[in-house]
Structure 1
Amino acid sequence: MPRLFLAAAPDAADRAALIALREALRASLPAAPTLRWTADADLHLTLRFFGEATDAQRRGIERLAARTAPHHATIRTALQRIEYWPPSAPRVVVAAFADEPALAALATDLEAGARELGFRAETRRFRPHVTLARAPGRPLARSPVVLPPSTLTVSALTLYGPAHCRTVCKYATLGTWPLAP
């Protein structure tokens, strides 16, 4: 069964800013050569992770996205900081974005819909972020990075699943539902 999630895919300008930020991190982190950097095509802000899903569940997720998207307007959120997760022994580097009320409301609606579809409740608080790198093995050393002013526009819900291009990308777009203008 494929692992599915709904996310916001960055537009071309936002993707370029995220790539520039990722490259600045790559140049400044001591463990950069051992990190697995997120491919350009895979940069996204996850709104609800579903995990393994059957075909019937996938159709339910598609209906959820189709009915939820028109009730939310396009959202802009600002880049706040680089975070290293988990704090005690970090293995993931993320670009953390402001938790705008409209973004939190969208995530809450998707969470409620996921539970209606029979998925387990998410136990972690929604934290808007884009994963930039993962560290297999030993924990990461933190590195200060000067953040350029940057925003991310959430203008659609995108359903992602596994891709067949494992060497270049990890995820495939399975459907997209625009938010209200």
Structure 2
Amino acid sequence: MKSTGDDPPPLAAIAIRPWLDTDSAAELTELLHRAYAHLAAMGLRFWATHQSAEVTEKRIASGECFVAVADGVICGTILFRDASRTNGSPWYDRSDVASFGQFAVEPELQSQGLGRRLIADVEDRAAASGARELALDTAEPAVHLVEWYTRLGYRFIERTQWQHTNYRSVVLSKTLVGRQGD
């Protein structure tokens, strides 16, 4: 959904659906690069700032990928991992914690509610999977992201250092009590 001068589609015109085999990993990778460009400009080396289409495909295979689509173009994404696929830190290693990552929204659509829709869908999916908690990690220096997730009900759990990043991460989590899967 590269800028064409046209107005972005209204939120109601954007559908969220599972990743299809016919979807383009290259297109999704380009979206990730655009969505994470401001974080790269901050000097933060998220995977999504530089990953190849092959890495995108491997990450998709590690969970359940959902995409937001407007007029046949992917404009958002989120990757859900159930508790059996969530690991790597003491909190992530718990049997009742699911997670999400590879989360992105087209820059021109950010701050319009699409990210919240994607997260709400994954929260419902996590609850339906039997998870009691849904977690994520993000760069500790990306204070704006930590604050945004906190406003969505996520709380600080722990800090961790991933080998593939140049920053310390914070793991945030939200209790799913009272959601669909309860």
Q: Which has the higher contact order (CA 8 A, sep 6+)?
A: 1
Same fold (TM over 0.5): no
| TM-score, structure 1 as length reference | 0.29
Larger Rg: 1
TM-score (norm 2): 0.29
Instruction: Identify, as 1 or 2, the structure richer in strand.
Output: 1
